[in-house]
Chain A
Amino acid sequence: QITLKESGPTLVKPTQTLTLTCTFSGFSFTTGEVGVGWIRQPPGKALEWLALIYWSDDKHYNPSLKNRVTIAKDTSKNQVVLTLTNMDPVDTATYYCAHRREKTYFFDLWGQGTLVTVSS
């Protein structure tokens, strides 16, 4: 059974750097074209994809955020970390990590999400 869970701060100040951790279980991040992605959703708004990392360490970023976002994995801990610099109130959102099914183009399982508020 695949599970993912996001963790990190619930409140950050403008200009600070956000670091979120996705801890997963039930799948191996060492074989195949498995991927873990981050998606966010501002309150009352649509989903926005942020980044994705493959088992091979290949990484992809949303072009609109490319200079601010970084994704990394720690295979030994079954974790994927998202970093978003220079936070702004418009970055207030629920942040989800999700499992990208092997050799596909969609996210089949999602974490519960974590709400991050940016405010001074």
Chain B
Amino acid sequence: DVQLTQSPPFLSASVGDRVTITCRASQGIARYLVWYQQKPGKAPKLLIYGASTLESGVPSRFSGSGSGTEFTLTISSLQPEDFATYYCQYLNNDPYMYTFGQGTKLEIK
């Protein structure tokens, strides 16, 4: 099974900062990596799929990159509404299983 490891688990930053979150896969997964944003008390929201394709309606300050085993989510200029927890996700085909990373909580400094 593919395991996803996110780093850092917690990140403190200020409005206007550029931040990067990393998701590492235990084996190569091409570009089949997804990112979600979750705010407290809310359901996750799809941000990026295919490692770098922005979901419709997601601000362009969000970007994703990577392939194989290392992926990054970058927010170019943090806005107040971006403070949330971010999860990466992959679909393992054998066994069939959706795997999520442990999350990165982005907090206001």
Residues of chain A having any CB pair with chain B under 8 Å? 37, 39, 46-49, 52, 60, 62-63, 96, 98, 104-113
Contacts and interface: CB of A to CB of B under 8 A. Distances in A.
Q: Is the interface of B mostly helix, strand, loop or mixed?
A: strand
Given A46-B102, A47-B87, A104-B49, A96 B43 contact: yes
A42 to B, nearest CB: 12
Contacts of B64: none
A111 to B, nearest CB: 6
Interface residues of B, number: 23
Interface of B: 32, 34, 36, 42-46, 49, 55, 87, 89-91, 95-103
B46 A60 contact: no
Contacts of B32: 105
Contacts, number: 52
Contact of A47 (B46, B55, B100): B100
A47 B88 CA distance: 10
Contact of B103 (A46, A62, A63, A105): A46
Contacts of B49: 104-106
A108 B99 CA distance: 15
Given A39-B98, A107-B46, 9 more contacts: A46-B101, A47-B44, A47-B89, A49-B97, A49-B99, A63-B97, A105-B32, A112-B42, A112-B43
- Central interface residue in A48, A106, A109, A113, by most chain B CB within 10 Å: A106
Contacts of A110: 43-45
11 contacts: A46-B87, A46-B102, A46-B103, A48-B100, A49-B99, A62-B97, A105-B32, A105-B34, A106-B46, A110-B44, A113-B43
